[in-house]
Amino acid sequence: TESISECVDLLNSFGGDLFKLNAHLKDLDGGFPCLRAALSSCRHWAEITNFNKKTFWAGLVSEPTVENIERKIAEGFKTIKLKISPRTFFPDIKSLISATPKNIIFRLDANGSLNLQETEQWVNFALSSDQVEFIEQPLPVNHPGYNQLDTKKVALDESFISPDKFSWAGPVVVKPSLVGDWDVFLAWRKSHPNKVIYSSVFETAFGRQAALWLAQLDPAVGTLGFDTLNQFKDDGLDRHRSGPIVEGLSNFDWLELWRKFK
């Protein structure tokens, strides 16, 4: 996406004239997706600040061990996201999953790190297991091997930023904070019948509140990928509590939190 400095330069160049800024962005054919998303949240901020519905989160396990998985299950998570890579020993993950209660669902995220042979092994496992919801971004972005995969349980993440000119028959991981204009996204979503998984990009409380609000507009919203709280423990900008069920923050003093940025 765009850089922070590019966003700042563009904002400064319009001197606070949002009408001209939005008109300029419309002419850029999908450029500046993060800025578009931020401006979308500003347009809907009155609704976002009042959002207090419950959302269901998947538990993130970066190091797949029995202890880490059991800890997340004990916290009440019903969906567990495991990070996998070429260094992950395939039989170990199969054993970990088979040892958990059958009502626990797993998402396996490779972050584009696998080759085609490794990917086919993981995808075949996912297709054979009721406990594996999907394999997330197994191959690098634009890898031709995606054309050879059964898309049913292959979710694209890094390959999807905004819906412009995007085509994929399988699940899609959507990051609200970088998906571009939300009105454009919502229009795309109405015509896109496949599963959409809403996920975090390590937002502050502002971005998380807005992202949760956007996700709940989706009638088919499922378990969200937002178990990223406390990753930056010293910044003091997390306000939502962590857990398998998380509510939006209503009756919260957002202006006071904003002053902490000054």
pLDDT confidence of residue 262: 66
Of the candidates 109, 103, 58, the one whose C-alpha atom is nearest the C-alpha of residue 88 is 109
- Which run of H or of E encompasses 2? none
Radius of gyration of the chain (CA): 19
CA distance 196 to 171: 6
What is the third-level CATH fold of 4-259? TIM Barrel (3.20.20)
**pLDDT for 28:** 85
192-248 pLDDT tens trace = 888 999 999 999 899 999 999 999 999 999 999 999 876 666 677 788 988 999 999
What pLDDT is attached to residue 232? 64
Give the whole-angstrom CA distance, residue 53 versus residue 87.
39
In this prediction, residue 29 carries a pLDDT of 78
Each of the 262 residues of the chain gets a pLDDT tens digit; together they read: 899 999 999 999 999 899 999 999 988 877 899 999 999 999 999 999 999 999 999 999 999 999 999 999 999 999 999 999 999 999 999 999 999 999 999 999 999 999 999 999 999 999 999 999 999 999 999 999 999 999 999 999 999 877 877 889 999 999 999 999 999 999 999 988 889 999 999 998 999 999 999 999 999 999 999 998 766 666 777 889 889 999 999 889 999 998 887 6
The per-residue pLDDT for 151 is 96
> Using CA atoms, how far apart are residues 176 and 33, in angstroms rounded to an integer?
10
Cα–Cα distance for residue pair 100/148, rounded to 1 Å = 31
Cβ(257)–Cβ(239) below 8 Å:
yes
Tokens of 167: 């085509």
**pLDDT at res. 236:** 72
